[in-house]
């Protein structure tokens, strides 16, 4: 029963993280019936398991969310008013899951709950607007693996918002939507889990990377220059801040992922965005002790 409870908390935290992104999208597309149906499925799934585990407060909050979703579908009231109610219930759902996770000592649930808040807070701090979209087989990234890869995921997400996503004004000038999109997708491939963290931002600053590499970078292909983001001491930041500029982070990410028995790759298109792909062993038994802490 305890294993079922822990799995439920981790999966519910994943679902709530996805729900945050879906609610933001629903605010922009309240007529999107497919999106509304997806939200219904997430909420109904949470409610069903709550009943089995006897989690009454969580079950009631999910039920209240379903009621508002029905009202939105039936256009019973002004959509903006209903969406405000939905956001309120989603916040309550998030708080209950976080509290249950803390009681159970479930670090995975805490991570999934923290990611949307991390994206929102960092975007606000940098004067940007970013929507986090979580998709794919998120259950494949089970609790032990998620906890082990946590720092690497968080650093790449921070890096994407800091370096990749442009300011609203810059995005408008480039003909992009004001709000940037940060995607986190998960899929299972044989005995590995593949995690892709992508953004629709400016892409890697290849000229800056060539300058960092020096004379040796002049003849290098763009794809090889892009790999230099993992080299120790390399940074495209114009100045040192509390977030970046010391050329430590992505080097440490690569070391940490290798310590897990995995690999990390980057692909980038100027003006279109960047995608980091982490290929990790699906079984925690394959993970080696970690040597490097990422700051």
Name the residue with higher pLDDT: 210 or 233. Answer: 210
Confidence at residue 7, expressed as pLDDT on a 0 to 100 scale: 77
User: Residue 280, SS3?
Assistant: strand
State residue 279 phi and psi, 5-degree precision: -110, 110
Which residues touch 228 (CB under 8 Å, ≥6 apart)?
Answer: 209, 212, 213, 217, 234
Residue 38 confidence class, pLDDT cut points 50, 70, 90: confident
3-state secondary structure of 29: coil
Residue ranges of the domains in the chain? 1-104, 126-295
Closest CA to 183 of 91, 274, 88, 66: 274
> What's the pLDDT at 293?
41
- 4 pLDDT band, cuts 50/70/90, is low
Of these ranges, 15-24, 44-53, 71-80, 121-130, the one predicted with the greatest mean pLDDT is 121-130
Tell me: pLDDT of 193 over 90.
yes
Q: Is CATH 3.40.50.2300 correct for 1-104?
A: no
Average pLDDT, the chain: 83
Q: Does domain 126-295 have CATH number 1.10.3720.10?
A: no
What 8-state DSSP symbol labels residue 167?
Answer: P
Q: What per-residue confidence (pLDDT) applies to 151? A: 84
Cα–Cα distance measured from residue 90 to residue 82, given in angstroms and rounded to the nearest whole number: 12
CA 162 to chain centre: 14
Q: Is a pLDDT exceeding 50 seen at residue 242?
A: no
pLDDT of residue 295: 39
Residue 169 predicted with pLDDT over 80: yes
Has residue 54 got a pLDDT over 90?
no
- Residues 244-255 have pLDDT tens digits of 544 446 888 888
pLDDT tens, residue by residue, 142-155 = 888 888 888 899 88
pLDDT tens for residues 61-110? Answer: 988 998 999 998 888 888 888 999 998 998 898 888 888 887 777 778 88
Looking at residue 9, its pLDDT comes to: 82
Given this model, what pLDDT does residue 212 score?
A: 79
Per-residue pLDDT at 244:
52
- Which pair of structure tokens corresponds to residue 265? 């790759």
Go through 108-144 and write b for each residue having 16 or more CB atoms within 10 A of its CB, e for each that does not. Answer: bbbbbbbbbebbbebbeebebbbbbbbebebebbbbe
Which pLDDT score is estimated for 164? 93
Better-scored residue on pLDDT, 173 or 11 = 173
Identical fold between 1-104 and 126-295: no
Q: 256-267 pLDDT, tens per residue?
A: 899 899 999 999
Q: What is the pLDDT of residue 129?
A: 95
Instruction: Using the predicted structure, report yes or no on whether residue 111 has a pLDDT greater than 90.
Output: no
């Amino acid at each position: 029963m305890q294993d079922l409870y822990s799995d439920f908390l981790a999966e519910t935290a994943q679902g709530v993280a996805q729900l945050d992104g879906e609610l933001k999208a629903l605010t922009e597309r309240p007529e999107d019936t497919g999106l509304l149906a997806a939200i219904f499925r997430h909420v109904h799934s949470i409610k069903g398991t709550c009943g089995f585990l006897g989690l009454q407060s969580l079950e009631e909050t999910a039920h209240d969310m379903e009621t508002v979703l029905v009202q939105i579908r039936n256009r019973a009231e002004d959509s903006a008013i209903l969406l405000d109610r939905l956001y309120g219930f989603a916040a309550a759902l998030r708080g209950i899951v976080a509290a249950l996770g803390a009681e159970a000592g479930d670090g995975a649930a805490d991570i999934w709950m923290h990611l949307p808040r991390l994206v929102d807070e960092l975007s606000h701090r940098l004067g940007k607007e970013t929507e986090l979209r979580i998709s794919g087989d998120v259950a494949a990234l089970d609790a032990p693996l998620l906890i082990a890869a946590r720092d690497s995921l968080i650093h790449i997400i921070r890096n994407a918002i800091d370096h990749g996503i442009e300011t609203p004004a810059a995005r408008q000038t480039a003909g992009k939507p004001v709000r940037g999109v940060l995607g986190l997708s998960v899929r299972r491939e044989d005995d590995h889990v593949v995690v892709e963290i992508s953004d629709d931002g400016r892409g890697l600053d290849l000229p800056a990377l060539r300058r960092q590499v020096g004379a040796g970078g002049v003849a290098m292909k763009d794809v090889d220059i892009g790999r230099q983001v993992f080299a120790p001491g390399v940074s495209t930041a114009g100045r040192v801040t509390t977030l970046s500029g010391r050329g430590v982070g992505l080097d440490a990410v690569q070391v940490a992922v290798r310590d897990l028995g995995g690999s990390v790759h980057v692909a980038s298109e100027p003006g279109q965005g960047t995608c980091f792909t982490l290929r990790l062993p699906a079984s925690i038994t394959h993970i080696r002790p970690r040597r490097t802490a990422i700051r």
